Chain A
Amino acid sequence: MKIIDIQNQIIEEFEVMNDWMEKYEYMIGLGKSLPTMDNNFKSDSNLIKGCQSRVWLHAELKNENIFFHADSDAIITKGIISILIRIYSGQSPKEILDSSFDFINKIGLKDHLSQTRANGLSSMIKQIKMYALAFQTKLN
């Protein structure tokens, strides 16, 4: 499935939710069911700096697509991670670099991007793009 299609699917899922409580409960549910990251990946080099909750992000290239593994010690952050993994894991570096992150505004999580939140969403997005750029350079 293409990135834009998955994003639209997520936007539709969030549209039927009535209020922030439902959205948070949904994200908390996602966070709880996110597979635990292998402890080997929870290294300092995978730790994203500047987050109130700790976030680890690891990426690997398989058959020219990037696969992301991520974890956090905060459950709402894990829910956000789960959404990002659903969209970006298994996609090619080029598709990731070409994609827009506008869906975050559309699902009403814009405030998680603000600087004071520092929950890692913006840092995670930056890191996902960095991995895509690095792997694309490698592939070329």
Chain B
Amino acid sequence: MSYALAVGDFVSTDTAKPTAGRDRIFYGLVLLNAVCLVATLQIIFLKAPVESTMGIVQKIFYFHVPSAVGMYLGAGACFLGSALYLAKGDLKWDALARAGADVTVVMGLMLIISGPLWAARAWGRYWTWDPRLTTSLLNVLIYVAYTVMRSFSAGGEAERKFAAALGILGTANIPIIRYSVQKWGGQHPRVITKGGGGLSHPDMKLALMMGFVTFLLLSVVLIWQRMRLHMAQTQVEALEQEALELGIAGD
């Protein structure tokens, strides 16, 4: 079945030889990500100085902000995949949208778990209904809804199209998160945003830069891995359908 073969050329199996080159790039990225992670941890804990007012808890910042960027990247992938699926109807774009949503949920959870832990020390409370915190939580909930819907729906074309619409609409919240601090104020720090004071020490800047590199690589690796997984799932469904048509009793 051409549909199964079209899916299969992206999936890593013994019989799908064209993926060998992609696999090498993928595992190269994983290795690079691991090296960056170790280097980032070294810089954060051994090189970057402790912040003068908040103390050591401020070091959460070097992964907290990059996890927000990872969340944006995941949401961007979900938007791109959804839009291209609606435009072209190719299942690989639907897999990209699903992968993007998965990564948005994980990065978003990292963000909204680490933020309150930092706030407990900095603000004396875990949570306030600050505009940025509220919009970030809303964003995670949107993508949790997306992934739950995809996990429990039958996976037909109507569900895929509905999910694509949700994937596109969900992205509308991203610029609201980004500009909520400038528009509505609130308690959330704006150290590195426009009008903020910036990081005063070069090692603090280096730690943040390394955090960004590590989380961008991690997001790309996770999106790629989840996309492969969703493509393989689609291929299994197609092969099972073909087996049914040929009258082979499946497990």
Q: Do A and B bind each other?
A: no
Identify the B interface with A (CB < 8 A): none
Binding site for B on A (CB under 8 A): none
